[in-house]
Amino acid sequence: MLTYSYPYQHPAVEDNNKMNDSIYRRIEQSPHFKELVAKREKFAWILSAIMLGIYIGFILLIAFVPGWLGTRITEGSPITWGIPVGLGVILSAFVLTGIYVRRANSEFDNLNQVILDEVGK
């Protein structure tokens, strides 16, 4: 009589899981992986701090200099300083995202490839 303990896994799947665990351990122990994680984390925190600074600056402008944001850019212009400043805040998020993507597609991807080559040996 055949008995199963659920969830049942085919023996080939269990062997594959053991192989994956071995690969994951080798990746985690790789000095290049540790370097990648540290660089990516540091860069993400820096960009987050910049964005937070921009948002806080905008909120401080609203709180302490609301009249300036309501001032027209030029005499007779329908546009106030609040519009370009607000657009600048929004655009800065796109710019910072682009900076991250550019670095991720170059330096971080290169480190990923080094890690994969190292583990594939």
- CB-based burial, 32-71: b 16+ in 10 Å, e otherwise: bbeebeeebeebeeebeeebeebeeebeebeeeeeeeeee
Report whether pLDDT(10) > 70: no
The C-alpha atoms of residue 54 and residue 73 are separated, in whole angstroms, by 21
pTM: 0.74
pLDDT at 107: 94
Higher pLDDT, 45 or 12: 45
pLDDT at 119: 85
Domain boundaries in the chain? 34-120
- Could you read off the pLDDT of 19-64 as tens digits, one per residue? 677 888 888 898 999 999 999 999 999 999 999 999 999 999 999 9
pLDDT at 115: 92
